[in-house]
Amino acid sequence: DAGITQSPRHKVTETGTPVTLRCHQTENHRYMYWYRQDPGHGLRLIHYSYGVKDTDKGEVSDGYSVSRSKTEDFLLTLESATSSQTSVYFCAISVGEGMGEQFFGPGTRLTVL
105 makes contact with another protein (CB under 8 A): yes
Residues 57-96 that bind another protein (CB under 8 A): 58-59, 90, 94
Distance CA 3, CA 66 (A): 20
Q: Which residue type occupies 53?
A: K
Asked whether position 106 contacts another protein by CB under 8 A, the answer is yes
Name the pairing type of β-strands 42-51 and 31-38: antiparallel
Q: Is 107 in the site for another protein (CB under 8 A)?
A: yes
Asked if 102 touches another protein (CB under 8 A), the answer is yes
Per CB under 8 A, 25 contacts another protein: no
Q: Who's near 71: CB < 8 A, 6+ residues apart? A: 25, 28, 29, 30, 51, 52
8 binds another protein, rule: CB under 8 A? no
Q: Do the beta carbons of residue 36 and residue 89 sit within 8 Å?
A: yes
Q: Is 51 in the site for another protein (CB under 8 A)?
A: no
d(CA 9, CA 12): 10
Out of 13, 72, 104, 111, the only residue in the binding site for another protein (CB under 8 A) is 104
Residues that bind another protein (CB under 8 A): 31, 33, 35, 40-45, 48, 50, 56, 58-59, 90, 94, 98-107
